[in-house]
């Protein structure tokens, strides 16, 4: 019987913080030859004991393989680490959190050095890496050819979602989702603050809060449909006039509970401004138009 041994793509990984180390372990476990480098060598030594090759310098690590992954603190650390390396002919996949503008500039920077470039925005925390059922994934954008060639290798740690050839789009999707997450955290913080001085166990509020947020989350589909169609009254269930009329109840309750309204008032102010424009029959979607400068 003939056995076909499929060679796994060798990977170079620069940056072994919490995320880089988690990524590294999945490529090792999947049998990919892995070369690592980290500014603090002790972190590379840990991976070397697990089967990786620890390079002496970033330049050596880059020279070792074609597929180069960076997972560093920020864009300036990427600049610093890659400064003395030869990227000609390399496929650079940058998983460092960046702004869209930084990602686009980094793509151009890589192109000038003869490398193909793919930017990544990681939608996972380290414990989700290597656990498919945890649902983590990375947004990728930039070179479609690079993505297609290396998708299998890139999908070892977490899932992959390619969002276009514009290198800035992965970062933009990343920041958009995380911004929505911070809005949710802000709302939950206000809810917990409201009950803080009462004899209500926060652990009894938490499941109610989680279920309510999950029930409300699908409303983003209606928002998207309205934005696409331009009719913000389409399918409205709770119109803006009714919701603005309700805001004093929220603010009065906030004051009665001895809580600062600072997380609520900016959004309520936008709702009031939109109502003042004569949009009472609309959904809350018009607030988005007020935000876009």
Which CB, 97 or 254, lies closer to ligand FVH?
97
Distance in angstroms (rounded) separating the CA atoms of residues 106 and 101: 8
DSSP code for 10: P
CB of 110 to ligand FVH, least distance (A): 17
Which CB, 181 or 206, lies closer to ligand FVH?
181
Instruction: Report the residue number whose CB is nearest to ligand FVH.
Output: 17
Distance in angstroms (rounded) separating the CA atoms of residues 154 and 162: 11
Distance in angstroms (rounded) separating the CA atoms of residues 120 and 190: 32
Distance between alpha carbon 4 and the CA centroid of its chain, in Å?
Answer: 38
Which CB, 101 or 125, lies closer to ligand FVH?
125
CB of 76 to ligand FVH, least distance (A): 7
CB of 148 to ligand FVH, least distance (A): 24
The answer to whether the beta carbons of residues 100 and 136 sit under 8 Å apart is no
Helix axes 100-112, 75-82, angle to 10 degrees: 10
CB of 50 to ligand FVH, least distance (A): 16
CB of 253 to ligand FVH, least distance (A): 34
Which CB, 46 or 63, lies closer to ligand FVH?
46
Which CB, 31 or 127, lies closer to ligand FVH?
127
The answer to whether the beta carbons of residues 157 and 22 sit under 8 Å apart is yes
Give me the residues that bind ligand FVH (CB under 6 A), please: 15-20, 38-40, 43, 71-74, 77, 80-81, 96-97, 122, 125-126
Which CB, 179 or 238, lies closer to ligand FVH?
179
The answer to whether the beta carbons of residues 52 and 102 sit under 8 Å apart is no
Structure tokens at 209: 């809060």
**Secondary structure class of 11 (helix, strand, coil):** strand
CB of 123 to ligand FVH, least distance (A): 7
């Amino acid at each position: 019987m003939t056995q076909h041994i499929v060679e796994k793509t060798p990977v170079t990984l620069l940056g072994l913080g919490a995320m880089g180390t988690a990524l590294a372990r999945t490529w090792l476990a999947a049998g990919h030859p892995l070369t690592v480098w980290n500014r603090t060598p002790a972190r590379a030594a840990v991976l070397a004991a697990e089967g990786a090759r620890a390079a002496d310098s970033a330049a050596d690590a880059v020279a070792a393989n074609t597929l180069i992954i960076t997972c560093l603190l920020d864009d300036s650390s990427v600049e610093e680490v890659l400064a003395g390396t030869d990227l000609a002919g390399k496929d650079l996949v940058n998983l460092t959190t960046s702004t869209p503008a930084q990602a686009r500039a980094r793509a151009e920077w890589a192109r000038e050095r003869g490398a193909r470039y793919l930017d990544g925005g990681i939608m996972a925390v380290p414990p989700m890496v290597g656990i498919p059922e945890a649902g983590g994934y990375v947004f990728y954008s930039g070179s479609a050819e690079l993505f297609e060639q290396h998708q299998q290798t890139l999908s070892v740690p977490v899932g992959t979602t390619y969002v276009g050839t514009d290198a800035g789009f992965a970062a933009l999707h990343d920041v958009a989702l995380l911004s929505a997450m911070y809005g949710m955290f802000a709302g939950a913080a206000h809810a917990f603050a409201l009950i803080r001085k009462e004899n209500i166990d926060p652990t009894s509020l938490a499941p109610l809060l989680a279920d309510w947020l999950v029930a409300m989350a699908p409303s983003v589909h209606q928002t998207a449909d309205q934005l696409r169609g331009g009719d913000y009254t389409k399918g409205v269930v709770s119109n803006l006039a009714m919701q603005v009329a309700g805001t004093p109840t929220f603010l009065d309750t906030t004051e009665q509970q001895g809580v600062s309204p600072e997380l609520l008032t900016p959004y309520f102010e936008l709702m009031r401004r939109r109502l003042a424009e004569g949009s009472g029959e609309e959904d809350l979607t018009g607030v988005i138009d007020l935000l876009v400068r």
